[in-house]
Amino acid sequence: MNKESKIILEGDFGIDSRYKSKIDKDQDSISLLESRLARLKNMNAAQIIDAKLIQLKLQMEEFMTVQNNELHQKFVLFLKSYIDIFYVKQNDFAEDINIQPNLLSKILNHHREPNDEFIQKVMVHSEKAFKNINNYSSTIWYYLYYHERIHNSISKQNEWRPEIEKQVKLTIIG
Amino acid sequence: MLFWRNILFIGINKNKNSINWNIYYIRKVEIIELLTGRIYIVDILPLEKSDYKSLTKSRYFFNWKEELEFELYKLTIKGHQDILGLISFEKYPEEWRIHVRLLTVSIENKGLNKMYDKIAGNLIAFVSKIAVKEYGELACISLRPKSTLAEYYIHKYNMRLTGATLSLEVPEIISLINKYDGNEQGK
C-alpha cells in the first residue's frame, strides 16, 4: 500500500482530537485566536453576508423543528435580522420591495399583520439574496408566519373561546 | 424541485388548552452507497442512552462512553437504527469555536472498500452548521489529528493548520456547508 492510500485509509475513519491537558487547550485557544483575528481583518463584505444569511437560515430552520413555547413575534424578529444584513435604513428595504415605509414600520412594530403580498415580496427578495446559499427554500417565510399564528391562536383558546362560544350554536333543522 | 427537497410536514395534536407539535423540516443530507451509486437520506441526531449498548470499540474504534458529558451525535440512514458514524464535540462560546473531540465511521465504512461515502464529511458539515448558527461570521470549528493525517483533512475539507490544530472558518466553513447541503461542487 502506498503512502497516499495509507493516509486515506487512516484518515477516513475518524480522529481522536481530544485535548490531553488544559495547557494544550489554552495554548490552542491563544494561537488559534491570533491567527483567526488576522484573517478576520481580511474578510470581505460578501463573505460576511453569506455567513449571516446561513446563520439566519439555520436559525429559522431550527425554529421550525424544535418544540417551542416561545413563538411570539419570531417572524418579525427573523425579518428584522434579515433586513439588518443588507440595509442600514429599513426604508430602503421598503423601497426595494415596493411598499410604503409606513406599512413596513407597522409590521415591524406589531401594529399590523403582514398580508400575502408582503410575505410574497419577502420571499422573492430573499431568493435574490440567498442565491449563493444551497438548499434554501424561500417558502420558509410563509411557514414561519403561519407556524407562529397557528400556535398563538391555539394556545390562547382560554382568551378567545368564552366569547366565541356565546356566539356559535348548532341549529338542528327539522 | 427545490420545494420538494424542503418539504414541511406539520401535525397538530390539539387538546383544549395545549398542543403538541410534530414538525419535521426535511433537509437534504445524503450519503452515497459506493457499490451501487444509490443515494440515501440520513438523519444526524443526538445519541440516546439505548444506543450505548451497540457502540463497541471493535466497530466504532473508541470508547464512546467517555464522551457522555459532551455533545454527541449519530448518523443513521433515515428510518434505520444502525449507526454509521459518530461525532462528539465541545463548544467554546467565548472563542466562537467548536472543538471536535472524536469522530468516526463504523468499521465497514473505513478505508478504500467502504460501503458509504460522505459520512465523516456530513458529520463535520453538521458541526460547522451549529458553529455558524451560533457564531455567524466568527464561527470556527477545530480538531487536532495526528500529524500524518493533517494533510488529509487539509486536502479533503480545505482546513487550515495553526500549530498542531486544524481549523475551518469563514469563508471555507461556508463552502463546506454549501457543498454538503447541495451539489458536490458547492457554489
Chain B residues closer than 8 Å to A62 by CB = 133
Instruction: Please tell us whether the domain made up of B4-181 is placed in CATH 1.10.20.60.
Output: no
Q: Which of B102, B149, B162 sits opposite A18 (nearest CB)?
A: B102
Segment holding A37, helix H or strand E: helix A22-40
Residue A105: CB atoms within 10 Å = 14
Is residue B72 less than 8 Å (CB to CB) from chain A? no
pLDDT of A156 reads 86
The phi-psi region of residue B126 (left if phi > 0; otherwise alpha if psi is between -120 and 50; otherwise beta) is alpha
In chain B, domain spans: 4-181
Is residue B169 less than 8 Å (CB to CB) from chain A? yes
Question: Running DSSP on this structure, what letter comes out for residue B1?
Answer: -
pLDDT of B16 reads 38
Is residue B175 less than 8 Å (CB to CB) from chain A? no
C-alpha distance from residue A10 to each of A6, B27, B42, B112, B147 (Å):
6, 30, 24, 10, 12
pLDDT per position as a tens digit, A150-163: 888 888 899 999 99
Residue contact A137–B139, C-beta within 8 A: no
**Average confidence score pLDDT of chain B:** 83
Residue contact B102–A157, C-beta within 8 A: no
Query: Contact B122/B103 with Cβ under 8 angstroms?
Result: no
Chain B residues closer than 8 Å to A18 by CB = 101-102
ipTM: 0.84
pLDDT per position as a tens digit, B6-40: 334 444 444 333 333 434 344 568 889 998 999 99
Residue A10: CB atoms within 10 Å = 17
| Beta pairing partners, B66 | none
Strands (E), A18-61: none
Residue contact A10–B149, C-beta within 8 A: yes
Residue B79: CB atoms within 10 Å = 8
Residue contact B110–A17, C-beta within 8 A: no
Which residue from A149, A131, A29 is spatially nearest to B182, judged by alpha carbons?
Answer: A131
pLDDT per position as a tens digit, B134-173: 999 999 999 998 877 888 889 889 999 998 899 999 999 9
Chain B residues closer than 8 Å to A151 by CB = 19, 21
Q: Reduced to 3 states, what is the DSSP secondary structure of residue B23?
A: strand
pLDDT per position as a tens digit, B76-122: 999 999 999 999 999 999 999 999 999 999 999 988 888 998 999 99
Query: Contact B143/B168 with Cβ under 8 angstroms?
Result: no
Residue contact B163–A19, C-beta within 8 A: no
Radius of gyration of chain B (CA): 18
Portion 145-164 of B in contact with A at CB < 8 A? 145-146, 148-149, 151-153, 156, 160, 162-164
Residue contact A17–B99, C-beta within 8 A: yes
pLDDT of A7 reads 55
Mutate to test the interface with B, among A34, A54, A84, A133 (most CBs of B within 10 A): A54
* Dihedral sign, Cα of residue A83, residue A87, residue A92, residue A98: negative
Chain B residues closer than 8 Å to A32 by CB = 95, 97, 140, 142, 162, 165, 167
Q: Rounded to an integer, what distance in angstroms lies between the CA atom of residue A42 and that of residue A56?
A: 23
CA distance B91 to chain A (A): 12
Q: Give every residue of chain A whose pLDDT is below 70, as ranges.
A: 1-12, 66-71, 174
